Amino acid sequence: MELLSAFIPVFVGTNWVLEIVTKTLVTSGKIGASSSDDILDKGKLEFQYSHELRPRHVILQECASPRVISTHLNLDSVPPGISNPQNKVKIIVVMRNPKDTVVSYYHFGQKCRSLDGRKPLPPWDEYFRIFLEGKNTYGCYFDHVLGWWQRRDDPHFLFLKYEDMKKDLPNAVRTVAAFLQVNLDDASIETIAHACTFANMKGILDNSRIYDRTVNARKGLVGDWKTMFTDEQKKLFDQKCKTKLEGSGLHFDFE
């Protein structure tokens, strides 16, 4: 069966969904025994590592179906096979509320820069302003999510929210399996969900052979933005959310 699952995360949530998909495909026998590290070694679309300098699209052409691709790119930047999928291609878009996203991405960026000896990110207040102005690595958060949100009625796409996954992880696993046309019994779904709790994910990521994954797991909470935002920053962010998201039909839980 030709099956490609592309994850289009908005800065955070990639590794969580990737782990669910990997375990779902392995459990169902759609792919052989593999780890999410194995998949990312080949399928992290816009990334390049020193141990493999060939472009990812070249590597992926050599891989047997089903192939799993991970990317942070926006709708206008991905190949047409992802932005306008055909046939049995499956695209999973995972989103996290923007307040927790900026806090998580800030801590992740600081840790990555410390790992490879780069200059630290600017102080939080300045980083907050940069994020709100849409000048971060992958562009404006709101334009990014709204770009993908245009595809919400396309059956090739599944949209997941980080906050919903936190509320009911077994249901998220069940939803992913159904979307990938994989039949799993309740025991398998519960096993995968348990393996993908934050505590277990932290163990997987902390011991990853891919260096930037080792600094991904921090708290895994909804509402952690409250530990960083000032009252003024909350007001500014709320206004930005209203301006950008009002009327789009896209809503987030912030706590």
As annotated, the active-site residues are 72
Q: Which residues pair with 174 in a beta bridge?
A: none
Cα–Cα dist 166/15, whole Å: 14
Contact indicator for 157, 93 with CB cutoff of 8 Å: yes
**SS3 of 73, please?**
coil
Neighbour order of strands in the sheet with 67-70: 67-70, 4-7, 89-95, 157-161
Sequence length of the chain is 255
Rounded to whole angstroms, the Cα distance separating 37 from 70 reads: 12
- The residue behind tokens 């919903």 is 164
- State the DSSP code for 30: S
146 with 140: CB under 8 angstroms?
Answer: no
Other C-beta atoms within 10 Å of 147: how many?
Answer: 17
Q: Is the peptide bond before 122 cis (omega within 30 degrees of 0)?
A: no
